[in-house]
């Protein structure tokens, strides 16, 4: 199990390392290096200091390594709130597509109230600007934005539902988790 987890961690560092500055840099993959060797080099980089007599380096604090950095949604403690807003937006889009306008209006008001005060003020000012000068109405542009929004909501909605499920699994102790933290909004900025 540890070997598989190490292999996954090395691959995550290799793929997402250029985009997530807190991940350790990937090492060049030598054909003779095993996964354990590469993981060991990532977690315990050699320094110019002499090794302790026992042969150990400082112990790795896994809790700090797995915590979300401060610049992320999870680091700010907003992953649950963002997940709720995204799930509500997904439900709102579903209601509007089905023609349930009254329910959609109530859902829109509820979703607006879930936003932080600064974000509500920004949305209000953008809407005010749009109502003053809506600009040219282009049906093709609107259709493009609608399709882009649907593609984004397809994966973002899944991550938001996984975030809620992950949080509920952390609060229960009734078996193995079905959702992993990597599937959630925890490390997104």
pLDDT at 93: 86
Region 132-141: mean pLDDT is 74
For residue 50, name the pLDDT band (cuts at 50, 70, 90).
very low
Instruction: Please give the residue that has the higher pLDDT: either 50 or 43.
Output: 43
∠ CA 103-106-112, nearest 5°, is 140
Q: Are 7 and 36 in contact (CB under 8 A)?
A: no
∠ CA 144-184-150, nearest 5°, is 15
pTM > 0.75: yes or no: no
Region 173-180: mean pLDDT is 73
Give the separation between CA 184 and CA 158, rounded to whole angstroms. 9
Q: Are 75 and 67 in contact (CB under 8 A)?
A: yes
For residue 39, name the pLDDT band (cuts at 50, 70, 90).
low
Give 149-169 pLDDT, tens digit per residue. Answer: 889 998 999 999 999 988 888
- Among 8-22, 38-52, 67-81, 99-113, which stretch is predicted with the lowest mean pLDDT? 38-52
Residues of the chain above pLDDT 90, percent = 10
Q: Cite the DSSP H helix spans in the chain.
A: 2-16, 35-43, 62-66, 79-98, 101-114, 117-132, 139-171
Region 90-112: mean pLDDT is 88
Which residues have C-beta within 8 Å of that of residue 28, sequence separation ≥ 6?
none
Give the separation between CA 15 and CA 9, rounded to whole angstroms. 10
pLDDT at 83: 92
For residue 187, name the pLDDT band (cuts at 50, 70, 90).
confident
Give the separation between CA 70 and CA 57, rounded to whole angstroms. 27
User: Which DSSP helix (H) or strand (E) runs through 184?
Assistant: none
């Amino acid at each position: 199990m540890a070997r598989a987890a190490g292999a996954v961690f090395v691959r995550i560092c290799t793929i997402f390392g250029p985009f997530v500055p807190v991940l350790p840099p990937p090492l060049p993959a030598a054909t003779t290096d095993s996964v354990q060797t590469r993981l060991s080099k990532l977690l315990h980089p050699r320094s110019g200091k002499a090794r302790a007599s026992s042969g150990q380096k400082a112990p790795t604090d896994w809790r700090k390594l797995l915590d979300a950095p401060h610049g992320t949604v999870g680091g700010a403690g907003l992953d649950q709130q963002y997940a709720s807003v995204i799930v509500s937006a997904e439900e709102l889009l579903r209601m509007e597509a089905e023609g349930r306008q009254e329910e959609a209006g109530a859902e829109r008001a509820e979703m607006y109230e879930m936003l932080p005060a600064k974000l509500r003020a920004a949305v209000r000012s953008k809407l005010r600007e749009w109502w003053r000068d809506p600009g040219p109405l282009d049906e093709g542009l609107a259709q493009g934005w609608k399709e882009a929004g649907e593609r984004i909501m397809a994966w973002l909605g899944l991550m938001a539902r996984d975030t809620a499920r992950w949080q509920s699994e952390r609060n229960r102790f009734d078996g193995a988790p079905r959702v992993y933290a990597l599937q959630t909004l925890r490390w997104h900025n």
